[in-house]
Structure 1
Amino acid sequence: MNQIAFEIVGQPVAQGRPRAGKSFTGKTVLYDPAKSRDFKQYVKLVASQHKPQELIQGPIHLELTFYQPTPKKYQTRPKQELIAAGLLLPTTKPDVDNLAKGVKDGLFKVIWQDDSQVVSITVKKLYSMTPRVDVLISY
Structure 2
Amino acid sequence: MTKDSAAKKFLFSIDPMGAVRTTRRQQYVDERAIRYRDYKLIIAHSALDQMRGTAKLTTALALKIVFIMPIPASWSKKKRWDALDKPHTSTPDLDNLIKGCTDALNKVVWLDDKQIVSVEATKVYGFEPRIELYVTELRGQTG
TM-score (normalised: structure 2): 0.79
Match in the other structure for 2:141: none
Structure 1 residue 78: Cα displacement: 5.8
Give the whole-Å Cα distance in 2 for the aligned partners of 1:4 and 1:115.
16
| Identical aligned residues as a percent | 26
| CA-based RMSD | 2.0
The structure having more radius of gyration, on CA atoms, is 1
> Aligned with 1:93: secondary structure?
coil
CA 1:101–1:37 in structure 2 vs 1: closer, same or farther (change >3 Å)?
same
Give the whole-Å Cα distance in 2 for the aligned partners of 1:89 and 1:42.
25
Pairs aligned (count):
128
Partner letter of residue 119 of structure 1?
Answer: V
Match in the other structure for 2:83: 83
2:118 to 102, 111, 120: 120
Is contact 2:71-2:83 (8 Å) kept? no
Give the whole-Å Cα distance in 2 for the aligned partners of 1:111 and 1:75.
40
Deviation per CA, 1:85-126, whole angstroms, max 9, x where unpaired? x5x422111001101111101111111111111011111111
Structure 1 residue 3: Cα displacement: 2.2
Give the whole-Å Cα distance in 1 for the aligned partners of 2:87 and 2:9.
23
- Please, which runs of 5 or more residues in structure 1 have no aligned partner? 22-29
TM-score (normalised: structure 1): 0.81
> Aligned with 2:57: secondary structure?
coil
Is contact 1:65-1:134 (8 Å) kept? yes
Match in the other structure for 1:40: 40
Partner letter of residue 60 of structure 1?
Answer: L
